[in-house]
Structure formats: C-alpha cells, structure tokens
A and B are shown apart, each in its own frame.
Chain A
Amino acid sequence: MADAAQTSKPTWVQRLRGILFSQEGILLLILLGVIIVLAQQNPNFWTVRNLLNQGRLMSEVGLVALPMTFIIITAGIDLSVGSILGLSAIVLGVLWKGAGLPLELAIFLALIIGSLAGLMNGLFIVKLDVPPLIMTLATLALYRGLAQGISQARSVTGYPEWFFIFGQGRILGLPTQLWLFIIFTILSIIILRRTTLGRSLYAIGNNPVGARFSGLPVGRNLLIIYTYAGFMSALAGVVFVSRVTTTRSDMGAGLELDVIAAVVLGGTSIFGGKGTVIGTVIGLVLIQLLKNGLALSGVTSDATIIVIGVVLILAILVNNFIQLKRTS
C-alpha cells in the first residue's frame, strides 16, 4: 500500500489530509480556534493595533526561536540564548557609554560578541563532544555571570533617539522588529528547505554517525548553527534594549524556556530529525496570542503561564496521538 501511494500521484483528498494531519496543520487549527474564541471574548483583541503590538512583543523570542529550531532538529539544545542576549546587551551599553564608542560600532561589536559566544558553544560541542545540554547549561551561568561582572549590576540608559527605531519604530506600518523577524524567518525557511546545509541538519538529527559517514560536514554545520543562535540572540538583545530604552544585566533571563516552548509546540521533535520553521512560527504566534487574549480577558499574566504549560503538553499529546493513528 505504501508503494501504491508513492507511485501514483496523491489525490487532492490525500494531500489535504496530509496537510491537515501534519503537526503544522493541527497547530493551525488550534490557532484558528483560539483566535475565534479570543475574538469573541474581547472586542479589542482582533484589532490591527493590538495584533501589531503583539507582533512587536513576539519578535525577540521569535528571532531566537529560528536558530533554536535548527539546533533542536539536530537533536541539540541551547540553554544559553537568554544569557547571550543579556551579555550582548551589556556589551552594547558598556562599549557605548563606558568606552565612548559610536553606537553603530557598539551594536556591531555586540553582534560579534554574541556570535562568538555561540561559536564557543559550538566548538566545545563539536570538538570536545560535550553534550549540548551540559555545555549550554555551563555557558548559561558563564555568560550571565560575565554580563553581571562587566556591568557591575549598573544599568545603562540615555540612548539617542534614532536607536529606538529597532524596538519602538515602524517601517511601512509594521513594527521594525517584526520586519527583522519576517526577513530572518524567510531566510531560515529557505536555508532549511533548499540548501544542503539545511537538509543535512535533519540527517544529523536522525543519525549523526550515518551523516558523518555519508560525507556530510557535520562539525562545520553544527558550528554554523550554534554561531547563528549566538548572533540571533545578540540581535534580539539589541532589539530588546531599543524597546525598553535601558540595558540591564538580567535581560533575557528565562528566555530559553519561552523559546524552547515555542519550538517544541511547533512540532520540532526534541529527539531531533523532525521539525519546520513554519511550525515554530505558528507555535510562537499561538503562545503570544494566548498570552495577550487571556490578559485582555482580565486573566493575570501569572495564570496565563499555566495555560501555556497545559497547551504545550496537550499539543504534544494530540500530535503524538494523531501520528500514532496515522502510522497504524
């Protein structure tokens, strides 16, 4: 039967079924349901103003969730992204205010430092075979500690007006960081679907030894995606500083859990080898809209994290159940 399905072209019913019962399809249905319920609950929810604002708030987690999708597809994980965000924010603030560098250069250097921090994760994971969970657990503490040490727990404020464009401004009606997020999302989709680098990530996640023996540059590709994660965390840091107009060393604490929740909710398997960027984006939007809708309905933000926890577990359960039905 499997052969028959492969040789003959799938009918549109089969195609539709395939789309519907994929993780993304299910998530999309859940998302639609959530939107309908929330829109009926509160008239302020389904307004352009509110939705754009949510897009603004979502972008920082979103920027980091893109490389995290890559990493989790390779069966790795990066817990240090929140700390890299904090570290690059501090580097930005200290270089600009403390060292007196021009802000443009400080931003550039902050992005470099973030990328280097990611590269260091990658080097230990690739060259020394340290499990990613341990390595990034260590650098979670290390980078945050450096941020605190460099800043001496002092905050930096007084950024010039033009800098706020990243976090508070709009381009063509959309928040600036949403543009960044959209650009990098498209870039990530293309990388993951159309390049050998992207396709090799699945192979690495499914069978790292097999991938190496098939001549794939496993080490190099891993280095690239961990560096990418560092870079994106730093970028999110710059956006974060611009949005809240101040630099503090505890910025981005706990970000890693939000990011991983979005990626996993989006159907990326924590065991590797499976996942899409689209899924991550849907997961991200779902979490953000749930947070927002519940807040608009008068639910406190603390109660919303309960709902997100439940949704996370339920979404995985439903998906497991449906995948089980499909295979049997």
Chain B
Amino acid sequence: MSSRLDPLVLLPLILGIVTLIIYQFAPFVIQPDLGATSIPTLTETRSNNEFGVTTNGLILIRIAAGAIILLGLWTLTNNQLSRAAAALTALAGILVLEYFVVFWRDYAQEGATYLSSMGFGFWTLLGLGILMLLQAAIPRPAVAREFQLRSLAANQESAILLALVVLIVTIGIASPRFLATRNILDILQGNAYIAVAAIGMAMVIITGNIDISVGSLIGLLAVISGRLVVAGAPIWLAWLTPLLIGALVGLFIALIVTYLRVPSIVVTLGMFSILKGALILWTNGQRVTGMPEGFYLAQMKPFGIPMSILFMLVLTLLAALWMRYSGAGRSLYAVGGNAEAARLSGLSATRVVIMAFVLNGVFAGIASVLYATQLQIIQATPPPALELFIIMAAVVGGVSILGGKGTVIGAMLAAILLNMIRSGMIFIDFNVFYLQAITGLLILLTVLIDLIRRRRQMV
C-alpha cells in the first residue's frame, strides 16, 4: 500500500479544526462598552441573546466541525476517503453559511447597526464557511478517480455519519428546538458512557468473542465507586477502583475463555448472572446518594465541553489510533480475522484475547464512573438491557460479529446515532412506545446495507 500522503487530503481536517477553534475562542462581537464577546453569548435562545438572532444554526457549526475532524482524521488512515471528507466539508460549509444567512435576515429585520461591531471571529467563520464550500472543487489528482458518491457509503462509518447528519437535519427542520445546544449536549452527555463501553466491546468482538456481562459489570462498578466515596475514600480512589476491578473481572473471564476453552458467550452469560446477583444482593435495591461535591466527574466542564463528551471523543480517538497503528492493536484484527494465520505468524492468540478482555474491563470501569457521576444518585440496578445496547452500538458501527472487522469510531458514531434516534423520536412527537421497534429496524437496515456492500465488493 502507498504511504504517500497528499497534503491536500489534510485540507478538510485543517478547516474543521480551525472552524472549531474560531467558534470556540475567537471574539465574535466587539461591543464598544463591553469589549470582545465570543460566540457562546449568541448560543442562548433568541429571546435571551442581545441580538435576538435565531441561533439554531450555531450548534450545526460545532457538530459539522466535529464531524469533519473525525472524518478527516480517519481519512489519514484511508486515502480513498479524502473525497468523501471534502464533500462533507462542503456540506458543513453550507451549514455554516446557512447560519450567516439567517443572521443577516434577522439583522435586517431588527434594523440594528451591529454589523460594524462584528469582530474577528464573525468574519473568519464566514470566510471559512465559503472556503469549506469551495474546497470541494479543488482538484486532487492522486485520488480524483475515487470521487464517487458511492464511496460515501463504502464503509459503515461514513454511512452512519451520513445517517446522523440526515437525522439531525430532518428532526431539526421538524422541531428546531432539537438543535438547541443544550439538547444536543444533553443527548451526547447522557449516553457517552455507552459509547465508551462500546469501545471495549468492539475490541472483544473484533477478536471473535463477546461479552454479555458488561451491563451488570457497569452497574456493579458504579455502585462500588459511589459507596467508596460515601464511605470516606478519597475521590481519586473512587474513580480508579472501578477501572482496576473491571480489569480484574476482564482478566478472570479471559483466563477461563483462553486456558479452559469455554466459549466467551457462556462464560459471560454466567458472569452476567453472578455480577447482577451480587449487585442486587449487596445493595438490596438501595440507590447510593450523598456523594461529596467533587465526585461528579461527568458533570465537570473543562473548556466548556462536558467531561463525559471529552472522555468519549478522546478515548475513541486514542483507541482508534492504537488499533490502527500499534502492533498490539493490530493483533486484535489478526486473531479475529484468521486465528490460524495469526498463530503461524507468531502471535499468541491467548495473550491477545486476554488483552482485549482486560481492556474491555477497563473501559467498562471508565463507563461506570461516567455513569455513576452523571446524576446526583446512583441507581442500584443498571439500565435494563444495557449490554444489548452496547453490543448493538458495536454491531451497527460495523464491527463484524464473526471477528476481524470494524473500528471503534464506527461504534462510537453508532452509539450516538442510536441515542439521537431515541431522543429525536420524542421531539417529533412520535409514539414513544414504538421506539424500540425503530431501533430494531435500524439494526436490520444497517446489517442489510452491510450485506449489499459486501456482495458488491465480492463481484
């Protein structure tokens, strides 16, 4: 494979990052009496902000830039996608411009003279929007023949991203309140722990195994974390203990799977009962309350970004890079794809499977801390069917249940997509009782798309 990297491939990525930085930090408005004001002032609702501007478009900028960065990073690993990234960047550019159109429309209505007070951030973002739109037209000779709309659906990650964008835009049109920063953040924040757990699950499934016990494990670890801190343990200890115990449980499962040759589905089915029983027996159904102030990790907001979202993005990114570029990470695919070939090339399948399960335990530990700290109370029982939801996220994200295929970025996007659908349905007054049926249909749909794609590749 060619390792030559066309610098033009990086363009969408750079545009995405710059947009996000400008959006986040640059002064947007310069008011004579107040000085520079950044965009967050504008993200309040129309009635609250001083311009009276509809701000629905603003959240789109952030989402679009985030999506571009993700796709751009992943373009680095897959040259064929640079055109898809360019197309998506252009789409994001349209969204950015849409905001400015709305702004000018409202500005004209209000008849105010704010235009002269617009600061650096305002004009840069406008320029960036145009640039994002235009860059799709830049010829990229190295990959130009790959410019086909079909390549957008060529893999699960971009298909999900596309579905996500379509979903957000559709529901946003039906109910603009859905696009409010607060709502989008709430959705992402409340379910970030599922995406984190899906990282570990993806690794386990890629090695050709499965973990059914992860839902019970998260519930148990969350209560351990809460009880520790209530009992007076230092907060850092309450945050780290679940990771350690999770790793130990993962190690225990892996040892039975590898050395005693019991299928992972059976071991984790047993562990599912054991952990769930232990949790209920121990807590007696009593939820944990009264944690000290500094314990709520998921509610912290460094740089204005909720901690749980930060965790989700950073961990997914690290895991994706690790699985793509490190020897240990790649060995997961080798063992899952063809165990015999992996063995012949000197890989120890035992060691790789143990590693996957231990990491899965650690990620379950992190997910449990995020889950435990997102509300003021910790429920004694984990959300019902949590393990199925996590497995679904991994599978919809393109991780093949037969092993050897899939990425954690896909798993994270799928986790977000599944949650967006749930919340979106509520926003458009869809009959909530059918929610689960829709989720099931969605899984079927992704599986079918995957099948069609594989058949086409085979031909």
Chain A residues with a Cβ under 8 A of chain B: 77, 124, 128-131, 133-135, 137-146, 148-149, 151-153, 253, 257, 260-261, 264, 270-271, 300, 302-310, 312-313, 316-317, 320
Contact = CB atoms under 8 A, between A and B. Distances in A.
A306 B277 contact: yes
B266 A312 contact: yes
Interface stretch (B51-59, B191-199, B257-265, B407-415): B257-265
Interface in B377-394: 384-385, 388, 391-392
Contacts of A320: 260-262
Interface in B255-295: 256, 260-263, 265-267, 269-278, 280-281
A309 B271 CA distance: 6
Given A302-B277, A308-B273, A310-B274, A148 B434 contact: yes
Given A133-B401, A270-B263, A303 B277 contact: yes
* Minimum-distance CB pairs A-B, first 4: A145-B437, A142-B440, A145-B436, A309-B273
B447 interface: yes
A198 B256 CA distance: 32
Contacts of A138: 440-441, 443-444, 447
Interface of B: 210, 212, 256, 260-263, 265-267, 269-278, 280-281, 384-385, 388, 391-392, 395, 401-402, 431, 433-441, 443-444, 447-448, 451
B266 A316 contact: yes
A142 B262 CA distance: 31
Is chain A's binding surface mostly helix, strand, loop or mixed? helix
A148 to B, nearest CB: 4
Nearest to A153: B433
A138 B273 CA distance: 23
A144 B436 contact: yes
B295 to A, nearest CB: 27
Majority SS at the chain B contact face:
helix
B440 A261 contact: no
A226 to B, nearest CB: 15
Contacts of B447: 130, 134-135, 138
Given A138-B440, A303-B277, 12 more contacts: A130-B451, A137-B392, A140-B440, A148-B434, A148-B435, A149-B437, A153-B433, A310-B274, A313-B262, A313-B270, A313-B271, A316-B262
A152 to B, nearest CB: 6
A305 B277 contact: yes
B388 A306 contact: no
Interface centre among A131, A260, A313 (most CB of B within 10 A): A313
Contact of A148 (B212, B384, B385, B433): B433
Nearest to A323: B261
B410 to A, nearest CB: 15
Contacts of A310: 270, 274
14 contacts: A130-B447, A130-B451, A139-B440, A140-B388, A141-B436, A141-B443, A142-B436, A149-B437, A257-B273, A261-B273, A300-B281, A302-B277, A307-B277, A312-B270
